[in-house]
Amino acid sequence: MIDFPLSTSMLISPRSLQLSAWLGHIPFASWLIEQLEPRLIVELGTHRGASFLALCQAVQEQGKTSRVFAVDTWEGDEHAGYYGDEIYNELREVQQRNYAGISEMMRMRFNEALPYFDEGSIDLLHIDGLHTYEAVREDFETWLPKLSDRGVVLFHDTCVRERGFGVWQYWSEISQQYPAFEFTHTHGLGVLLVGKARHPALSRFAEQWVAGGFAPINRLFDVLGSNIKRTEEIERVYVGLSDARSEVNRLGAIAHDSRLRCEQLEQELHQAQERIRHAEQEVQQHRLQAEHNALTPDDLRRIAGEERARVVEELQAMVVPQLEGNTRKLDQLLRPWWRR
Ligand X SMILES: C[S@@+](CC[C@H](N)C(=O)[O-])C[C@H]1O[C@@H](n2cnc3c(N)ncnc32)[C@H](O)[C@@H]1O
Q: Given the complex with ligand X, which of 10 and 206 has the nearer CB atom?
A: 10
Q: Given the complex with ligand X, which of 72 and 123 has the nearer CB atom?
A: 72
Q: Given the complex with ligand X, which of 132 and 208 has the nearer CB atom?
A: 132
The amino acid present at 28, given as its one-letter code, is F
Among 10, 22, 152, 204, binds ligand X (CB under 6 A): 22
Q: Minimum distance from CB of 107 to ligand X (Å)?
A: 9
Of 52, 58, 65, whose CA–CA distance to 8 is shortest? Answer: 58
Strands (E), 30-107: 40-44, 67-72, 76-77, 81-82, 103-107
Q: Compute CA distances 278 → 132, 219, 233, whole Å.
A: 84, 86, 66
Rounded CA-CA distance 297/294 in Å is: 10
Q: Minimum distance from CB of 76 to ligand X (Å)?
A: 5
Q: Given the complex with ligand X, which of 139 and 206 has the nearer CB atom?
A: 139
For ligand X, how many residues bind (rule: CB under 6 A)?
20
Q: Minimum distance from CB of 139 to ligand X (Å)?
A: 7
Asked if 147 is part of the footprint of ligand X (rule: CB under 6 A), the reply reads no
Asked if 45 is part of the footprint of ligand X (rule: CB under 6 A), the reply reads yes
> Coil, strand, or helix at residue 122?
strand
Rounded CA-CA distance 155/1 in Å is: 26
Q: Nearest-CB residue to ligand X?
A: 45
Q: Minimum distance from CB of 120 to ligand X (Å)?
A: 22
Of 161, 165, 169, 183, whose CA–CA distance to 25 is shortest? Answer: 183
Among 4, 35, 67, 77, binds ligand X (CB under 6 A): 77
Applying the rule CB under 6 A, the residues between 78 and 137 that interact with ligand X are 80, 109-110, 128-130
Residues in contact with ligand X, shown as a per-residue x/- string from 48 to 67 under the rule CB under 6 A: x-xx----------------
Q: Minimum distance from CB of 48 to ligand X (Å)?
A: 6
Q: Given the complex with ligand X, which of 214 and 221 has the nearer CB atom?
A: 221
Rounded CA-CA distance 203/181 in Å is: 9
Q: Given the complex with ligand X, which of 169 and 213 has the nearer CB atom?
A: 169
Q: Minimum distance from CB of 74 to ligand X (Å)?
A: 6
Around Cβ 219, how many Cβ atoms within 10 Å?
Answer: 13
Among 47, 146, 150, 187, binds ligand X (CB under 6 A): 47
Q: Minimum distance from CB of 180 to ligand X (Å)?
A: 20
Rounded CA-CA distance 30/9 in Å is: 6
Interior angle at CA 42, CA 104 and CA 118, nearest 5: 95
Contacts 24+ apart (CB under 8 A), 315-324: none
Give the 3-state secondary structure of 73-94. Answer: CCCEECCCEECCHHHHHHHHHH
Q: Given the complex with ligand X, which of 70 and 206 has the nearer CB atom?
A: 70
Asked if 42 is part of the footprint of ligand X (rule: CB under 6 A), the reply reads no
> In the complex, which residues of this chain contact ligand X (CB under 6 A)?
20, 22, 45-48, 50-51, 72-77, 80, 109-110, 128-130
